[in-house]
Amino acid sequence: MLQPLQIIRLSPAAVRDAAAVLGAVLKDAVDGGASVSFMADLTLERAEDFWCGVADAADTDGRVVITAADAQGILGVVQVVPAGVDNQPHRGDVAKMLVHRRGRRQGIGTALLVAAEQAARDLGLTLLTLDTAQGSAAERLYIQAGWTRAGVIPDYALMPDGVLTGTVLFYKKVGG
């Protein structure tokens, strides 16, 4: 890693305070062609609104938002979201794993994933799940981090440019 990295869990209020910079990280990912729920016309305002919504959700659903920051500020983020249903008290989702293009391939995604898995254990979760675009850098990241590839759903979502992509379902047991 080129610079010291700070991995921090943010309170919901801190997520709200950081919504603009987190929005810039989200928009950078979409501008770079990542399939993360948004299309290419995503604006900074809408991206910031998304994070304000995450802050509101974190107030009630117990999700953990973890950021990575270097000397220039926040450049990565990931969430652990408890399943929130009575029959899955042990399961959560890893969501919106994002590393700004200025910091990629330096181990930041891996560091966020390690922190997310620890956060899940701290929440008492033993099973994590996620899905990611087939053939993406993220698919490689999760395989390298020891996640199990459960299968592929073809034509699941649109890439930012409107082309359909499959999604790969992953899981990892993190405790129990």
Ligand X SMILES: CC(C)(COP(=O)(O)OP(=O)(O)OC[C@H]1O[C@@H](n2cnc3c(N)ncnc32)[C@H](O)[C@@H]1OP(=O)(O)O)[C@@H](O)C(=O)NCCC(=O)NCCS
Residue range at the interface with ligand X (CB under 6 A); choices 10-18, 48-56, 94-102, 154-162: 94-102
Stretch 60-89: interaction string toward ligand X, x if CB under 6 A = ------------------------------
Strand order of the β-sheet with 64-70 is 6-10, 64-70, 73-82, 91-99, 127-133, 164-173, 148-158
Residue of 21, 74, 99, 119 interacting with ligand X (CB under 6 A)? 99
Q: Tell me if 140 contacts ligand X by CB under 6 A.
A: yes
C-alpha dihedral sign at 19, 13, 7, 127: negative
Residue of 98, 115, 116, 168 interacting with ligand X (CB under 6 A)? 98
Residue of 29, 69, 116, 125 interacting with ligand X (CB under 6 A)? 29
Angle between helix 137-144 and 108-122 (nearest 10): 60
Q: What is the largest CA-CA distance in the chain?
A: 44
CA pair distance 14, 74, nearest whole angstrom: 12
Residue range at the interface with ligand X (CB under 6 A); choices 9-17, 59-67, 116-124, 139-147: 139-147
Which tokens belong to 1?
């890693």
Site for ligand X (CB under 6 A): how many residues?
21
Site residues (vs ligand X, CB under 6 A): 29, 34, 36, 97-99, 104-110, 130, 132, 136-138, 140-141, 144
